[in-house]
Amino acid sequence: MSDYLSKINGIDDLKKLKGSQLKELAAEIREFLLENISQTGGHLASNLGTVELTIALHHYLNSPTDKIIWDVGHQAYTHKILTGRKDCFINLRQRDGMSGYPKCSESPHDIIGAGHSSTSISAAVGLSLARENLDQIGDIYAVIGDGALTGGMAFEALNHAGHIGSNINVILNDNEMSISDNVGAISNYLSNLRNDPTLKKVKEDIEFLINKIPKFGKTVSNTVDRVKDALKYSFIQGVLFEEFGFNYLGPVDGHNIIELMKYFKQAEAVAGPVLLHVITRKGKGYPPAENNPDKFHGVGPFNIEDGSSKKIKSKVSYSQVFGETLKRMAAVDKRIAGITAAMPSGTGMGIFASSYPERYYDVGIAEQHAITMSTGLAKGGMKPVCAIYSTFLQRAYDQVIHDAAIQNIDLTIAVDRAGIVGNDGETHQGLFDYSFLRPVPNLVMMAVRDAEQLQQMLFTAVNYQGPAVLRYPRGSAAGEYIPHKVSDLKEIEIGKAEELIEIDKEMDLTILAVGSTVEPARKAAEILNNNGYQTALVDARFIKPLDEEMILRALKNSKNILTVEEQVLAGGFSSAVLELAADSGIALKNLKRIGVGDEFVTHGGMEEMKKEYQLDARGILKKALSLLVQAEEVNRLWPEKKD
């Protein structure tokens, strides 16, 4: 077998290959991706689907003079291989290793960093305007998936590009999926284009015949125009995009490199914006991923033979606890509805959907619409529970304020993946929600510490009359998960913290923790108490409203205060504590805060990154001892294990 991949160290090497050699290279790249992702984990199905498309783009274009912009970016692994980074895959998504997304600091070929969807066309329009103003050269290609077209930003960009006639090429990578199955009218529209190849031939024949009509005289000219319009709306595909001002080409087989490059050449000959409709198969070439593309969208290390995970999953996840609890609650309350934005399996909402499909709504990649639609459900008498990842909720901030909070809507927002999420890196860390939600009037915000509390807090949020936010992290749930009957669930008093280790007078230290940091803080507090330090522990439970009485009592009765939150420090839980102290006239001399400073948290394993930011039990203990005595004593109380 040939070995073309070993000779590819950059774009110039790729351009030396022709015809069947490129097809063989595609097969080698698929094998390379499987071998490497099976070891490190990563985005598999989406990358297997774009191998030929990426080869064709880089063979035809001259990157980075010609600019390729990847929407979301989880389909750009072949792009990284071809631009000189194949040796970096051994550390893919590992700390200090290569990012799983386009990252400008990695390579000049990564034109725009990406992690969220529906952004590529907007960036392409901006690049085209800069090119015109600065008399630059180079073609501009935006690669966007069909699932990303459900994001309103993509249509805002299409509208603007068509209006100003931007000379850009948009490649619609149509694989019938985003992460889970695509939903909505756009998906149905593309399906019709994809599944009726006769329309393409009809279009070509009609245009040929029209071009043969003699164009003289006003009457004939007007007749031809009317015929064109009538035939266009009756037969010709791509009408939607043409109405946006784009020239539509396709659909074309996205796994035929030579055919793709012919279409690129055709697109270059057309003035103004072009949309090239490319059909690919997610998971192409690997049967387990082809058959279950959603399962193989983002994977951990797996066995290539059958696709089974190499990791033994021993505990239930927070998302599963959420989904199962919501399902049980919906059985006794027919007003409960579940909403998600293209993440049914990731959020656990799919568990609810399997039993109550008539009350389940997946709006696609459209977080803004998800929130505002939920407010409409609430106004109509339903009790909506909208589950969105923390990082994606950022996209719906205006809707949270304007449509939910101002109107004091009875809505529960379940914020999944809150805190450090690990290998996806900067764009996916859920580290800002305390800060951007805490200032919003009318909102109640609570943070989950374990499986038991998640059940009680979800019950509390759904029964609270107003907008309530429930925040929980990624991964295995802390504590024991004992599914409760709905009749056994109790509402938590709004704004009431929990004293896990009692605050007495003259405490050496009180730890004020919240959410995922409570259990590691408990371990640190127990070690301190066992070694002679009078240490109290408070689970704040509520970010908003704070339990002012309990926190003020802790501030007054403790020589030292330590706050812990899996969040950026600016504007977060500790900021609320400091504001309360200042407003109450309490001078704090010995207070330290644990959280994330003024920086973006990069990619790496979740536990590794928590350790980096002292959010594990040992880190909390070390920080506490820096208040009480000296940090070095941590080595006596909790020695570092040697490998």
At a CB cut-off of 8 Å and minimum separation 6, what does 431 contact?
390, 419, 420, 566, 567, 568, 596, 601
Please, are residues 613 and 619 in contact by the beta-carbon 8 Å criterion? yes
**Which pLDDT value is given to residue 227?**
47
pLDDT score of 177 more than 70: no
Please report which confidence band the pLDDT of residue 234 belongs to, taking 50, 70 and 90 as the band edges: very low
When the pLDDT of each residue in the chain is averaged and rounded to a whole number, the result is 90
Tell me what the mean pLDDT of segment 609-637 comes to.
87
pLDDT for the residue 231: 43
Q: How far apart are CA 476 and CA 633, in angstroms?
A: 31
Could you give the C-alpha distances from 365 to 122, 308, 488, in angstroms and in order?
16, 28, 36
pLDDT for 300 equals: 87
Lowest mean pLDDT among 188-197, 265-274, 373-382: 188-197
Q: In the predicted model, is pLDDT for residue 518 greater than 70? A: yes
> Is 148 annotated for ligand binding?
yes
Spatial distance between the Cα atoms of 224 and 234, rounded to a whole number of angstroms? 15
Q: What is the pLDDT of residues 307-328, one digit of tens each?
A: 988 877 668 999 999 999 999 9
35 labelled catalytic: no
- Chain segment 329-365, per-residue pLDDT in tens: 999 999 999 999 999 999 999 999 999 999 999 999 9
Is 250 marked as a binding-site residue?
no
Q: Is 281 assigned a catalytic role?
A: no
Q: pLDDT tens digit string along 276-294? A: 999 999 999 999 999 988 8
Got the DSSP string for 34-45?
HHHHHHH-EE-H
Dihedral of the CA atoms 177, 161, 119, 147 (nearest 10)?
A: -10
The predicted pLDDT at position 211 comes to 60
In 448-524 the beta strands, taken as DSSP E runs, fall at 468-471, 498-501, 509-513
What are 435-450's pLDDT values in tens digits?
Answer: 999 999 999 999 999 9
Cα–Cα distance list, 95 to 46, 343, 614 (Å): 23, 26, 16
pLDDT digits (tens, 9 = 90+) for 125-156: 999 999 999 999 999 999 999 888 888 899 99
Q: How would residue 299 be classed by pLDDT, with cut points 50, 70 and 90?
A: confident
What's the whole-number mean pLDDT along residues 465-493?
97
Instruction: Report d(CA 422, CA 245) in Å as an integer.
Output: 41
pLDDT recorded at residue 413: 98
Both tokens assigned to 200: 């393409």
Q: Please give the average per-residue pLDDT across 560-582, as a whole number.
A: 97
Per-residue model confidence as pLDDT tens digits over 25-62: 999 999 999 999 999 999 999 999 999 999 999 999 99
- DSSP for 290-355, please give it: HH-TTTTSEE-SB-TTT--BSS---S-BHHHHHHHHHHHHHHH-TTEEEEESS-HHHHSHHHHHHH
Predicted pLDDT at 107:
96
For residue 587, the model assigns a pLDDT of: 86
Give the residue with greater pLDDT, 221 vs 436.
Answer: 436
Q: pLDDT band for 233, please (50, 70, 90 cuts).
A: very low
SS (H, E, C) 66-83: CEEEECCCCCCHHHHHHH
116 is in an annotated binding site: yes
Q: What is the pLDDT of residue 230?
A: 46
Does 519 qualify as catalytic in the annotation? no
The whole-number pLDDT of residue 604 equals 93
Higher confidence at residue 510 or residue 230?
510
Q: Of these residues, 28, 52, 176, 367, which one is catalytic?
A: 367
Pairing of strands 336-340, 360-362: parallel
- Show Cβ contacts of residue 235 under 8 Å, excluding neighbours closer than 6 positions: 199, 202, 203, 206
Amino acid of residue 69: I
pLDDT at 235: 41
Please identify which of the residues 131, 282, 471, 544 carries the catalytic annotation.
282
| DSSP sequence for 116-179 | SSS-HHHHHHHHHHHHHHTT----EEEEEEGGGGGSHHHHHHHHHHHHHT---EEEEEE-SBSS
Residue 175 CA to residue 282 CA, distance in Å, equals 6
Does 286 count as an annotated binding residue? yes
Which member of 30, 328, 395, 474 is catalytic? 395
Contact 29, 86 (CB under 8 A): no
Cα separation, 432 vs 569, in Å, equals: 9
pLDDT digits 0-9 by tens, 190-213? 666 655 655 554 455 555 555 655
**Residue 146: per-residue pLDDT:** 84
Q: How long a stretch of residues is the chain?
A: 643
Higher local confidence (pLDDT), 519 or 225: 519
pLDDT at 72 (0 to 100): 87
Q: What are φ and ψ of residue 455, in 5° steps?
A: -60, -45
Stretch 583-603: mean pLDDT: 93
Report the pLDDT value the prediction gives residue 213, as an integer from 0 to 100: 56
Task: State which amino acid sits at residue 598.
Answer: D
**639 pLDDT above the threshold of 80:** no
Q: Is 147 annotated as a binding residue?
A: yes
Element (H, E) at 595: strand 591-596
Is residue 74 part of an annotated ligand binding site? yes
Residue range 292-303: mean pLDDT, rounded: 86
C-alpha closest to that of 39 among 346, 292, 421, 311: 311
Q: How far is CA 319 from the centre of its chain?
A: 15
pLDDT of 625: 94
160 is in an annotated binding site: no
Angle between helices 257-268 and 20-40 (to 10 degrees): 110
Of all residues in the chain, what percent carry a pLDDT higher than 70?
89
Average pLDDT over residues 364-368: 93
Q: What is the pLDDT of residue 58?
A: 97
pLDDT at residue 183 above 80?
no
